[in-house]
Structure 1
Amino acid sequence: MKTAQINRRALVGGMLGAAGAAAVPALAQEGSTEFQAPVSSSVRNNISSFRMLQWQDYFETTRNGVILVDITSRALHFWSEDQSIYRLYPSSVPLSEELTRRGRTEIVRKAVNPPWRPTPSMLERNPDWPKFVEGGVKDNPLGVRGMYLSWPAYLIHGTHDTRKIGRRSSNGCIGLYNEHVVELYDLAKVGTQVLLL
């Protein structure tokens, strides 16, 4: 059987589109880009290195919806409260373990075109950074939407710098393509459960 060249961006884009949620089960068919992990593990990986996780392994319920951020595979998973909606988004993750926070939190506030204020530790590491950037401008590192977590200074947000997605590139936050953060912003609500692992 001849192996076709697979374009990762096209594959991920196809999975993330409106029809993408319905297409995910097709990955388990013959000729799939997914492989089954050893029987002792319930985690499956696809060709893009995203681990295909199940909410039941990490949450008791999907009350208010759930977001699972997989730092290792640099992906954000979302399930709606009634589990009728599932989304998988590539993400940026913190630059280092020192900047990485793991554990349970929740969305406590949402903002369209959030303004950005670097933390004192960010300014210490990067003294040439501005102390404030208005929301809605191209050089704002929070992009077009921000979802604030219960941990101070931690957000799930968009980014205008698309090179950051899929990389260790943030100062602690989880970044998404702007078009993906707009979709997630509309799906998630204040009170959505979040787990970073």
Structure 2
Amino acid sequence: MKARLIFSLLLSVSSAATALTLPTPDRAGDSLIGNPPQDAKYVAATHEDTLIDIAVNFRLGQDEIVLANPTVDRWLPGAGTKVKIPNSFLLPDAPRQGIVINLPEMRIYFYPDATRVVTYAIGIGRVDWKTPMGKTQIQGKTENPSWSPPPSIIAEHLADGDVLDPYYPPGPDNPLGLFAFRLGIPGYLIHSTNKVNGVGMRVSHGCIRMYPADIEQFFPMVKVGTQVNIVNQPIKVGWYHDTLYLEAYPEMEETPTSFEQRLHSALDIIERANGGKMPVIKGSILKAALEKQSGTPIALYQRPTSNIAAVAPK
């Protein structure tokens, strides 16, 4: 309870808030971190706010906040409109060590030890410049990096009438920002960005972009050699105590699926999460979760509890 209270207090801070540092699940087999979904957090939009302004303020991804608020206008929510701030996440189905990046979710999870998870919104590669999947590691880390754009990126910008400099020295105008991690996959980085509205979108040339304040916090925590696991999991399923949740995101554009394929995939994941047995779930709830793809955990099933009533002697 104490850890959950600390988490709630952290979220109540506005733009000065750091990224989410959350306790790992307190029960073996659980996967949900953050507040229980029924304790969702909302903020009231001001007259000047866009959803993107609110996302940047709370260091959420642009697509993430739009998915969580499907009935709210992205550009003009309106003064007083309640905006949902995602504050609970199912951990990806991957070893809970090092760094795990779930591409459809556009979110990074870092396990500094067995008791904590640190999670950040990220931007990833466009369809034509995909961020690669698979296991790699942090090969190096650089503070105040310089950048020499490769010929392919120079040519692409030139075709759009934009001339890139051949060399960008360290500093705030550098597209890599002030901090960068070099992955074991040649040519790919996790780095800061001076285009913060692109966090939570597919806008990069394959690199992983982070909010400047997030990577400033992240940089000293991560050691060279840290394992990095990049996965593609548009459907996540996991437990919080006796309730099974599903969290769905739109698929990557380059790997589209039909609703029937998503349904079969979800049922397989649900069965595995329930020890190889399919629980009795409401089809309407599952269908809605897979169609809406809100990126928030949806309760599917609750384990029955065996309450034995005491019978008074006659």
Bin for the TM-score computed over the shorter chain = 0.7 to 0.9
**Paired position in structure 1 for 2:164:** 129
Find the residue that maps to 2:22 and give its secondary structure: helix
Higher RCO structure (Cα 8 Å, ≥6 apart)? 1
Unaligned runs of 5+ in 1: 1-9, 34-45
TM-score in terms of structure 2 length = 0.47
1:72-151 aligned within 5 A = 72-80=104-112, 82-96=113-127, 98-127=129-158, 128-136=163-171, 138-151=172-185
Change (3 A) 1:153 1:144: same
CA contact 1:50–1:75 (8 Å) conserved in 2: no
Q: Secondary structure at the match of 2:210?
A: strand
What is the aligned partner in structure 1 of residue 220 from structure 2?
Answer: 186
Query: 3-state SS of the aligned residue for 1:21?
Result: strand
For the Cα contact (< 8 Å) 2:19–2:119, is it kept in 1? no
What is the one-letter code of the residue matched to 1:172?
G
Asked if 1:53 is matched to 2:91, the reply is yes
Q: What is the aligned residue count?
A: 167
Match for 2:209: what amino acid?
G
Q: Is the 8 A contact 2:124 2:208 kept in 1?
A: yes
SS in 1 for 2:136: strand
Contact 2:19 2:214 (C-alpha < 8 Å) held by counterparts:
no
Seq. identity, %:
27
RMSD: 3.0
C-alpha deviation, 1:17, in angstroms: 3.1
1:173 to 207, 211, 232: 207
Cα offset, 1:52, TM superposition: 2.2
1:18 deviates by 7.1
Mapped to 1, the partners of 2:207 and 2:173 lie a distance apart of 17
CA offset digits 1:102-134 (Å, max 9, x no partner): 111100100001111112221221232111101
Contact 1:93–1:167 under 8 Å retained in 2 = yes
Q: CA deviation at 1:22?
A: 5.0
Q: State the Cα distance separating 1:25 from its structure 2 match.
A: 4.8
What is the identity, as a one-letter code, of the residue corresponding to 1:58?
Answer: A
Task: Find the aligned partners of 2:122 and 2:197 in 1 and give their Cα distance.
Answer: 11
Q: What does the per-residue CA deviation read over 1:2-34, in whole Å, with 9 as the maximum and x for residues that have no partner?
A: xxxxxxxx78979x737752598551164336x
Q: CA separation of 1:49/1:73 partners in 2, compared to 1, >3 Å: closer, same or farther?
A: farther
Aligned-partner residue type, residue 149 of structure 1 = L
Q: Residues 47-75 of structure 1: CA distance to partner in whole angstroms, max 9, x if unpaired?
A: 44985215xx323x63xxx1111111111
Q: Distance in 2 between matches of 1:31 and 1:50?
A: 9
Larger Rg belongs to: 2
TM, length-normalised to structure 1:
0.73
**2:141–2:224 CA contact under 8 A, matched in 1:** yes
